[in-house]
Structures are given as structure tokens and as C-alpha cells.
Amino acid sequence: MVVITEEMRPQADLCFEDKEGKERSKFLLKEMGLPTGLLPLRDILECGYMEDTSFVWLKQKKKIEHKFEKIGRQAIYGTEITAYVDKYKIRKLTGVKIKEMLIWVSLNEISINNLVDGRIAFKGLVGLYRTYPFSAFDNPEVKIQLEYKLPPKIIDNVEVAEEVKEAMVAKEVKEAMVAKEVKDPIKLIEIARRNRQDPIKSGSVF
């Protein structure tokens, strides 16, 4: 466990109120491509983030117990939580436990190893390894990408992913996919652009 020292504070991006702490933690999770519902904390006293090392800490007034209803799992969040956050991964996590049978197991890693299968993996200090549906932790933006099974090389490119998402949620494009069995995301982008430029001809883009 990393001890938070006074020397670390000037190097960190800090906030000290519950509302701002929640917004900051959700922002960091979203930036890393992780579910924003992973840290359902209450009464946050302090949130710190050191961009150069990817180290983050959160302090809340008291430890809380939370049940993720969609998977029937309980978790305990301590008064101080620390971790290193990377793209699609939280590592060296402290302060979070999950109930396994009748035992509380400390988690030390949360990650998305396969962006297409729609599951997130949890690892514990005693060898625990479990995967759960991404949707259980509420992140609608990534849920759309996973629902349409976009390949990682598309998801990693935010600008392209947004256009693919736009194309896929457009009714006429989805109908065209079914009719013509179009599976290429780049082709979908071209279709969406043509439809926006000339919607009258949208039925003959192929």
C-alpha cells in the first residue's frame, strides 16, 4: 500500500468535496475506458491524482458496503482507496473487498482484457479471479461499443469510434446492415456520411 505523504500533495491534482470527488473519480474511470459505476463512494473527503505516475487516492468519511444488484455481489469500500489507473486497468488496488461465499477478499486488480466480449475481470490477493458483464457497472458509452462488438483498433481511436457509434445507432444504417450484411465499420462510416450529405439517396448507397 502506498502511503500518501505531504510531499506528494503539491504534485497531485486535488479536490476536497463529495460532489467534486465523485465527478473526478467518474471522469478518471471514463478516461481509462472503465465503468463509471466501479466506485460508488459516498461523502468523499479527498481525491488526488498524480498524472505522471497514474496514482490515484480517494478518502471517504466512513467505509461503505455496496451491492451490485445485477450480479448479486457485495463489495466493501474502505475509508481510503488507492490504485494506479491505466487504460482499461486498475492495478495495485487497495481498500476494496468483494464477498466470495462467506469470506471478504481484497481486490488488487480490475481490468478489461477483451473489449469485444463485454466482460470485466476482477483479481484478488488470494488468487481470486472472476469476470462479470460490463453492463453490471453502468457505463452507457462503452456499452454501446461493446453491444455492436467494435474491434479494439476502432475503439482505441476515439474519433473514429464516435463516428462508428453514430453510424450504428442510425436506423437507416442498421437496416442496411441487415439487408446487405455489411460488417465493415469503416464502410458504415462512409454510409453515414453519405446519408447526412444526401438523405434522399440513402436507400441506394450500396
pLDDT by residue for the chain (206 residues), tens digit each? 677 878 888 888 999 989 999 999 989 998 898 888 899 898 999 999 999 999 999 999 999 999 888 888 899 999 999 999 999 999 999 999 999 888 999 999 999 887 777 789 999 988 889 999 888 886 444 444 445 554 443 444 344 344 445 544 554 445 555 555 555 555 655 665 565 555 444 444 33
What does the block give as the cell for 108? 488488487
What does the block give as the cell for 75? 463489495
Residue-by-residue DSSP string for 139-160:
-HHHHHHHHTT--HHHHTSHHH
What is the residue type of 114?
Answer: N
For 201, what's the count of Cα atoms within 13 Å in the CB-facing half-sphere?
A: 7
List domains and CATH numbers for the chain. 9-138 (2.30.240), 148-198 (no CATH)
CB 90 within 8 A of CB 100: no
Provide the 10 A C-beta neighbour count for residue 76.
15
CA distance 111 to 88: 6
Q: Which string of b and e fits 118-137 if b means at least 16 CB within 10 Å? A: bbbebbbeeeeebebebbbb
Q: Provide the 3-class DSSP secondary structure of residue 195.
A: helix
Rounded to 10 degrees, the C-alpha dihedral 186/190/195/201 comes to: -120
CA distance 122 to 132: 8
